[in-house]
Amino acid sequence: MKTLIKNCRIISPDMDIAKASVEIDGAFIKRIYTASEKLPKADKIIDAKGKILMPGFIDIHTHGAAGCDVTDATPKAISTIAAAKVKEGITTLVPTTLTIPENGLAKALKAVAAYMKKKSPEGPKVPGVHLEGPFINPKCAGAQNPAYARKADIEEIKRLDAIAKVMIVSYAVETEGAYEFTTKLLSMGIVPSCGHSAATYEQFRQASCCGLKHLTHFCNQMTPLHHREIGLVGSGLLDNNILIEIICDKKHVSPDMIRLAFKSKPIDKIAIITDSLSASWMPDGPMKLGGLDVMVENGTARLKQGGNLAGSTLKYNEGLKNIYEITGLPLCQLIKTTSLNQAHSMALEKVAKIEAGYYADIVILNENFDVSKVFVNGRLTVNN
């Protein structure tokens, strides 16, 4: 089936074309047409009415939405989360777990694996999972449950990876055996990411030499910048080889820090995430996260005991709007942080560009960044 999306503003990495059209053939983009070119016939023609068309978003760090958490460990929970997240413009999703016992992680990954095996899921693609923990520093647990923190164990990762592909593991690099663990993750094709950590710059540097690739939810639950010890925050700003995740809800990271990060880092080393929890797409009120009590007030989730931020209720398209307003950078640069950088980091092929031969994973937004339509593999999944 051929679909033609006409009269749109195409935004792709380093490309911004007004009054253009995109031809989709099956699951793939066939061709881009400029305003002066004759348009082809198609089985379905969609008039975008001047709206923005860009690559679908890739969220590599999200725990839940619509009242469900990945660690609820049911196929229904994963499908519910996916159905909510695709409405944010997300076309590739990496479900993220918490610091819980291994049997709980195994159940969660079985539920994700069941979603991955669906031939035509009504939601985003899921290439695998992100394990946030359990190998964290309990002193930097944040909204993770420190009772379940444990020493890095590559055998546990192998057992879990056999259930569903593990794409990313977040762990504290200063803990026992973490450097060797980093190397072994790389050998398995897994992205090593430091998070919930009290590491010094020297410990970060050693982990980086072993192959560390990411910093998990930058600035949150990691050693802050200090003029005599730059910590992980300073490491992330200084090292141009490390990719930093940023929760762009303006709560986890202030607008000034977002501006500083975008000014200091190469644009291809930033990935915006939601770190959303089950309270996303839900009204305020009490909830649970990894067995801990959380209260959501005015869209902000905090632990009842201690008041730590506990993930976000951020929708991905709102995060893009925030960084656009905060940084003032052109969209054709900013969208590298919403899809291309993630795709490169996880070696996902033929996604994150509006280009012939790439998958037709597309989001259409209005000028206020509200989601109008979403295509996954050329299939119209969201139609507002």
- pTM for this one? 0.96
The answer to whether 324 touches 334, Cβ cutoff 8 Å, is yes
Domains of the chain: 2-54+352-383 (2.30.40.10), 57-345 (3.20.20.140)
pLDDT at 153: 97
Query: Which strand ranges, in their side-by-side order, compose the sheet holding 300-303?
Result: 285-289, 292-297, 300-303
Helix 178-187 with 154-161: angle, nearest 10 deg = 30
Phi-psi region of 128 (alpha: psi -120 to 50; beta: other; left: phi over 0): left
pLDDT of residue 134: 97
* Predicted local distance difference test score (pLDDT) of residue 374: 98
Alpha helices by DSSP H, listed for 224-357, are: 231-238, 255-264, 316-327, 331-334, 340-345
Residue 38 burial class via C-beta count within 10 angstroms: exposed 0-12, middle 13-18, buried 19 and up: exposed
Catalytic residues: 275
Helix H or strand E segment including 353: none
3-state percent helix, strand, coil for the chain, nearest multiple of 5? 30, 30, 40
Cα dihedral: 85, 90, 92, 97 (round 10): -40
Q: What is the residue-level pLDDT of the chain in tens, covering all 384 positions? A: 999 999 999 999 999 999 999 999 999 999 999 999 999 999 999 999 999 999 999 999 999 999 999 999 999 999 999 999 999 999 999 999 999 999 999 999 999 999 999 877 779 999 999 999 999 999 999 889 999 999 999 999 999 999 999 999 999 999 999 999 999 999 999 999 999 999 999 999 999 999 999 999 999 999 999 999 999 999 999 999 999 999 999 999 999 999 999 999 999 999 999 999 998 998 888 887 767 788 888 888 888 887 888 778 999 999 999 999 999 999 999 999 999 999 999 999 999 999 999 999 999 999 999 999 999 999 999 999
Dig out the tokens for 308 from the structure. 């730590």
* Spatial separation of the C-alpha atoms in residues 205 and 235, rounded to whole Å: 8
Q: Which residue has the tokens 């291309």?
A: 340
Cis status, amide bond into 134, omega within 30 of 0: yes
